[in-house]
Amino acid sequence: MEETNRQRKIAGVLQKDLVDVLQKAAQDGMKGVIISVSKVHVTSDLGVAKVYLSVFPSEKRDELVKGVQSNTPLIRHEMAKRTRNQLRRMPELLFFGDDTLDYLENIDNSLQGKDANPIKNPEVLPRRKKI
């Protein structure tokens, strides 16, 4: 199903405000970590928002996403205060780690020849499991 204009507008508002909230929290607690909100998907009933976080350095992604998930009620409260004039009800926030940058880096390494060549060495390819 395609997103409606209302869903896209609410996702944009949430994304912009979440960036402010999360970067402010990262400045206070974690030095040298960059957090960005790469995508926000809002369900058609506007009750749930899936938030995808991109973290640099990527080694700290899982730790940071778990920390954000444990602080979801505080983040949701802060977001409700910021968006009280734009939204009647604050959607439930679900946070996920975004590994797109890692995927792109793997493709880039493969294209530059830094990874093992699967044509010369077929052992690097994952094996299919027989059913």
Q: Is the pTM of this model over 0.85?
A: no
Is the model more confident about 79 or about 3? 79
Does some domain include residue 90? yes
Query: What average pLDDT does the segment 8-33 reach?
Result: 84
Task: Please tell me the total count of domains within the chain.
Answer: 1
Does some domain include residue 37? yes
> What local confidence, expressed as pLDDT, does residue 127 receive?
64
What is the C-alpha separation between 90 and 81, in angstroms, rounded? 9
Does some domain include residue 83? yes
* CATH number of the domain to which 33 belongs: 3.30.300.20
Confidence band of 124 (pLDDT split at 50, 70, 90): low
For the residues of 8-49, what is the DSSP string, one character each?
HHHHHHHHHHHHHHHHHHHHHH-TT-EEEEEEEEE-TTS-EE
130: pLDDT strictly greater than 60: no
Percent of the chain's residues with pLDDT above 70? 92
Average pLDDT, the chain: 84
One-letter amino acid at 52 equals Y
What is the C-alpha separation between 28 and 112, in angstroms, rounded? 38
